[in-house]
Amino acid sequence: MKKNTHNRRHFLKQAASIALGSSTAYATSAGLQLANAMVQPADSYKALVCIFLFGGNDAFNMVVPTGDTEYAAYKASRQTLALEQNKLLSLTSLSGSGAKLGFHPTMSHAQQLFDSGKLALLTNVGALVEPVTKTNYQGNKSLLPPQLFSHNDQQTFLQSLQSSTRRNGWAGRTADAMHSMNINKKLSMNISLSGSNIWQSGDSVVPYSIDSAGIKELENFNKKSTDARELTRIQIYQALLAQQQENIFQREYARTQAIAWDLAGEVKTALDAQTPLQTVFPAGNPLAANLKMVAQMLSARSSLQVTRQTFFIGMGDFDTHGDQLRRHDILLAQLSAALDAFYNATVELGIADQVTTFTTSDFGRTLTSNGDGTDHGWGSHQMIMGGAVSGGEVYGTFPDLIIGGKDDAGEGRIIPTSSMDQYAATLASWYGLPASNFADVFPNLARFNELDLGFFKS
C-alpha cells in the first residue's frame, strides 16, 4: 500500500509550479461551463503552434539548392559540411516555379508534406528592425536588432520584436487584444509546453504551462477523493488560502493558487474525457511527445470553450559548433517525423485547416565551417505547415550562398531579406488579429513594404 505522506518542501515547490501555470491576470473563479455562454461555431477555432529551434538551426543544410550551379556554390562554401547532392530530397513546387531545392536526407516526412501541399518554406527570414543591405550594414548605416549573433538577445528579440526592456512577446500582445474571443476567461489563450517564455507573455495574459505528460496537479489533493484524510487536508488548505492577508503579495499568491488549483482539475477532466487519438506519434522523440499533448489539448477545445489558442514548444540543441553532421541528422529527423505525426493528428481531429504550425530559431548558422561545425549566423529558413497554408511553395528570396557574396554580411553570415515582423504578421493575420492592433504588436512592420508574405491560401 502506498504511504500517504507529505514533505512540506516538496508540497510548496509543487504548489508554486502549478501557480506558474495560472492563466491570466484578469482570470476569475468562474467554472468552465457558463450558463449564458454563446456557443461558437465549430469552424471558428484557430490555433498557432510555434516550434522554437533553440540554439540556431543550420537551415542552409536543412534546405539545399539542387541545381548544378547553385549546388557547386553551396559545396564550395560549406566545405566539409556539404551534403551529397545525390542524397538530397528534391522538392516539387506545386506551381512548377522557383529555385530547385532539396530537403536534408533525413527529412522524408517533411518532403512528403511539402510535395502534398501541406507545408511551405519561407527562405532567408530573420531578425530585422528595417531592411538591410550589405553596403549599409558594412557602413554602419542600418538600424539593427540588439546584440546580433547572441543566443539570449536574439531569442528575446525574435519572440518580442522589441529592442526595449518591455518584456512581452507578439503572441502575448495578440492575446491581450483577442482574449475576449474565448468564452473561458480562466484558461489562458497561450499554452506553453516549455515553461515560461517571452513570446506568449503579454501585459494581461501569461502562458499556462503544461508538459508532455499533461496537467500537473497537487499530489494527494484530489477534490474527488473519498479518503477522509485527504478531504480534511484539502479543507485545511482551502481555509489557509481563504484567510485575509495584509500583504499584497500574500493575497495575490493565495488568489493565484486557488485559481490554478481549480483550473488544473478542470483541464485534466476535459482531457480525460476525450477519445484517445489513433494517430501514432514516433517514440523516443521529445518534440513528438509535446506535439501529441498539443493534439490532445486541441481535441478538448470545445470542452474548454476556447476559439483561439497558441502553443509554444522549444526543441534543441541546434547550437552545432561541433559534431554537426551527426547531431543535425538526428535533430532534423525528429523534427520531420514529429511534424508529420502532428499534421495527421489534426486531420484525424478534423481541424487541419484550423491549425498552423511554424518554426523559428535564434538565427541561422554561418556558411563557413569551423572544421566540425558552424558558428552563429543571421538569416535562416523556416517551415509553415497546415491545411490553410499554401504549401508546396517557397516564399521569400533564396540567398546567394557564396562566401563574400552579395548576401554575406561577413564571415559567412547571411543578411535576411524577410523580417520576423513580416513573418509574424502574416501568421497573426490568419489567426484573426485586427489590423488596428498591428502597430502595437509588430512595432517594426511599417518599415517594410510587404506586410503579408503570402503563404496562406486566399
Please report the pLDDT score of residue 350 as a whole number.
Answer: 98
Look at residue 247 and tell me if it is in a domain. no
Look at residue 372 and tell me if it is in a domain. yes
Say how far apart CA 34 and CA 408 lie, in whole Å. Answer: 57
Provide the residue range defining the domain that includes 210: 62-214+306-447
Please report the pLDDT score of residue 38 as a whole number.
Answer: 41
Look at residue 11 and tell me if it is in a domain. no
Look at residue 405 and tell me if it is in a domain. yes
Domains contained in the chain, number: 1
pTM over 0.85: yes
Please report the pLDDT score of residue 258 as a whole number.
Answer: 59
Comparing CA positions, the residue from 450, 350, 363, 357 lying closest to residue 413 is 363
Comparing CA positions, the residue from 170, 191, 136, 122 lying closest to residue 360 is 122
Please report the pLDDT score of residue 84 as a whole number.
Answer: 98
Look at residue 3 and tell me if it is in a domain. no
Say how far apart CA 108 and CA 113 lie, in whole Å. Answer: 9
Look at residue 82 and tell me if it is in a domain. yes
Please report the pLDDT score of residue 96 as a whole number.
Answer: 64
Q: Which letter, b or e, does each residue of 90-111 get, where b requires 16 or more Cβ atoms within 10 Å of its Cβ?
A: ebebeeeeebbbbbbbbbebbb
Look at residue 161 and tell me if it is in a domain. yes
For residue 182, the one-letter residue type is N
Please report the pLDDT score of residue 248 as a whole number.
Answer: 74
Q: What is the mean pLDDT of each run of 10 residues along the chain (458 residues)?
A: 44 46 39 37 86 98 96 96 97 78 98 97 98 96 95 96 85 97 94 96 94 75 70 68 72 64 83 96 98 98 97 97 96 98 98 98 96 96 98 96 97 97 98 97 97 95
Look at residue 251 and tell me if it is in a domain. no
Comparing CA positions, the residue from 60, 116, 50, 43 lying closest to residue 356 is 50
Please report the pLDDT score of residue 264 as a whole number.
Answer: 82
| Edge-to-edge strand list for the sheet holding 63-65 | 63-65, 101-103, 89-90
CATH number (domain holding residue 66): 3.40.720
